[in-house]
């Protein structure tokens, strides 16, 4: 087993791995260096919100940090409120509390078991992986470890193409919606807000701002102008394991055919959710079958459709968003962003319309970028990831989906695999596709902990 391990990142994926390692009670003491990057807690971006309007989009019974303890989060929530059910969609704030409690418990147990765990509240400046270990650089200090794991979550958001420098400098174009929401104050002034993107991030922004700014109106732009689909009021399970569908997809890894097969399966099902949910356990192995040209075709033509049915809204959130539309406060528009620039004291947003519709020019007091997670290592401003890519220590995915790696999480460079340098979570999207939600991350954490603690590597 590795004796000294570094975990780089302060969010949920890092917390899950740390807790898995310490939960096992390995027979020999571990030395764990956890570089949290300045985060005061393991909540990260996903669970750092303090708003009760921001709900998990997975039911409580499926959100345990530990694969071996499937009801961990539900038990935690019910200790505070016995009326909570496993089918409920609970606030992400509460899940952040659960992560903090589990990490606190793991660290206390580590001290009892004689492990040396250092929580280091600063970022790593550079990582130098080698065949016999990994060196981490912070300031003038170099630290040698037996293995290191990148668990940094999504990369910092970057402005979309077409947003000019004057718009960015104005402060009226928001690239990072979560940092913005953390500091926004109630305001009764009328204002027009344009959102670029209509996924779950946009939904969270709408819920919060519509309450804080009661006289604001919102225009949301996306390629197809469609909201994420809602979950059913009650939980459903697949009617069968979709084995015939999955086998047919495996035989012909072509996106056009896959879309037809899925549509046919949905037509024969009582509810489309049972079909899409049955595919979830098989998604990594199906994704692995696709050549790069087919993956690119999926991203261009099918990604938007898959993500709006895969990442669904709780039903009560859909009710709230529909109410904003009925009240005339939210308007959805199909189109593509072309440009954002300053005109007077406002921003002007140029939109290329959907086929057959007229292009539009929108005036806005504020424009918020809500396009979801950034995983493009090729263009990131994240200092550590830039260092790794510039020095050739990692190979960026050609489609902007994190880094090249094995399915087990070993990072790769120039076609070679590092024996002691790993990633978990978002950076593995190119190899696994489904690699951002807690149900997938907890499985990764469990398997990676096994690998780090095994007798022979």
Q: For residues 444 and 103, give the distance between their C-alpha atoms in angstroms, rounded to a whole number.
A: 17
Q: Among 50, 70, 68, which Cα is nearest to 58's?
A: 70
- Give, in order, the Cα–Cα distances in Å from 83 to each of 46, 50, 74: 25, 22, 11
What predicted TM-score, i.e. pTM, was given to this entire model? Answer: 0.93
Give the three-state DSSP class for 373: coil
**Residues of the chain above pLDDT 70, percent:** 97
CB 401 within 8 A of CB 298: no
Confidence tier at 270 by pLDDT (50, 70, 90): confident
Which residue segments constitute the domains of the chain, with CATH numbers given?
4-155+374-453 (3.50.50.60), 165-230+312-369 (3.50.50.60), 243-306 (no CATH)
According to the model, what pLDDT value does residue 307 have?
93
In angstroms, rounded to a whole number, what is the distance separating the alpha carbons of residues 70 and 203?
Answer: 28
List, as one string, the DSSP characters of 438-457.
HHHHHHHHHHHHHHHHSS--
More confident residue, 372 or 236: 372
pLDDT of residue 67: 80
For 134-152, b/e burial (b = at least 16 CB within 10 A) is: bebeeeeeebebbbbbbbb
Which pLDDT score is estimated for 244?
Answer: 92
Q: Of 340, 321, 339, give the one whose Cα is nearest residue 331.
A: 321
pLDDT band at 238 (very low <50, low <70, confident <90, very high): low
* Nearest-5° Cα angle at 444, 442 to 448: 120
Q: What is the pLDDT of residue 456?
A: 43
Q: Where are the beta strands (DSSP E) in 55-102?
A: none
Contact 308, 272 (CB under 8 A): no
Mean pLDDT of the chain: 93
Q: What is the pLDDT of residues 202-235, one digit of tens each?
A: 999 999 999 999 999 999 999 999 999 999 987 7
Write the pLDDT tens digit of every residue in 49-99: 999 999 999 999 999 998 888 899 999 999 999 999 999 999 999 999 999
Least confident span in 1-5, 19-23, 306-310, 392-396: 1-5
pLDDT at 457 over 60: no
Q: Say whether pLDDT at 38 is over 80.
A: no
**Can you give the pLDDT at residue 362?**
96
Sign of CA dihedral 159, 165, 168, 173: negative
């Amino acid at each position: 087993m590795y004796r000294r391990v570094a975990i780089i990142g302060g969010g949920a994926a890092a917390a899950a791995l740390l807790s898995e390692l310490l939960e096992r009670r390995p027979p020999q003491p571990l030395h764990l260096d956890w570089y949290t990057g300045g985060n005061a807690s393991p909540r990260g971006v996903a669970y750092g919100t303090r708003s009760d309007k921001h709900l998990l989009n997975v039911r409580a019974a499926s959100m345990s940090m530990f694969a071996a303890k499937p009801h961990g989060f539900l038990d935690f929530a019910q200790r505070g409120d016995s009326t909570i059910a496993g089918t409920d969609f609970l606030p992400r704030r509460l899940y952040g509390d659960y992560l903090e409690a589990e990490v606190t418990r793991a660290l206390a147990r580590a001290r009892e078991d004689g492990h040396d765990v250092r929580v280091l509240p600063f970022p790593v400046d550079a990582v130098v992986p080698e065949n016999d270990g990994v060196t981490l650089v912070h300031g003038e200090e170099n630290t040698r470890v037996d293995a290191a794991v990148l668990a940094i979550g999504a990369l910092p958001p970057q402005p979309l193409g077409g947003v000019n420098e004057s718009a960015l400098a104005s402060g009226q174009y928001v690239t990072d919606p979560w940092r913005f929401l953390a500091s926004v104050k109630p305001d009764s002034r009328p204002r027009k807000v344009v959102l670029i993107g209509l996924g779950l991030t946009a939904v969270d922004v709408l819920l919060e701002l519509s309450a804080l700014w009661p006289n604001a109106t919102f225009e949301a732009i996306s390629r197809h102008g469609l909201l994420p689909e809602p979950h059913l009021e009650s939980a459903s399970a697949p009617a069968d394991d979709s084995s015939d569908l999955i086998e047919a997809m495996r035989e012909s890894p072509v996106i056009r055919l896959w879309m037809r097969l899925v549509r046919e399966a949905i037509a024969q099902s009582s509810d489309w959710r049972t079909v899409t949910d049955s595919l979830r356990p098989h998604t990594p192995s199906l994704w692995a079958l696709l050549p790069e040209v087919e993956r690119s075709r999926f991203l261009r033509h099918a990604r938007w459709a898959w993500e709006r049915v895969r990442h669904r809204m709780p039903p009560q959130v859909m009710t709230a968003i529909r109410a904003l539309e009925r009240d005339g406060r939210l308007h959805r528009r199909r189109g593509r962003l072309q440009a954002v620039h300053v005109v007077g004291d406002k921003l002007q947003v140029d939109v290329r319309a959907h086929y057959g519709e007229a292009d539009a020019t929108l005036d806005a007091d504020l424009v918020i970028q809500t396009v979801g997670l950034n995983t493009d290592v090729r263009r990131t401003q994240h200092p550590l990831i830039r260092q790794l890519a510039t020095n050739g220590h990692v190979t960026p995915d050609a489609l902007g989906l994190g880094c090249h790696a094995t399915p087990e999480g070993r990072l790769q460079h120039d076609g070679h695999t590092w024996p002691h340098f790993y990633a978990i979570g978002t950076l593995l999207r190119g190899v696994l596709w489904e690699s951002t939600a807690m149900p997938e991350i907890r499985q990764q954490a469990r398997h990676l902990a096994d690998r780090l603690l095994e007798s022979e590597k």
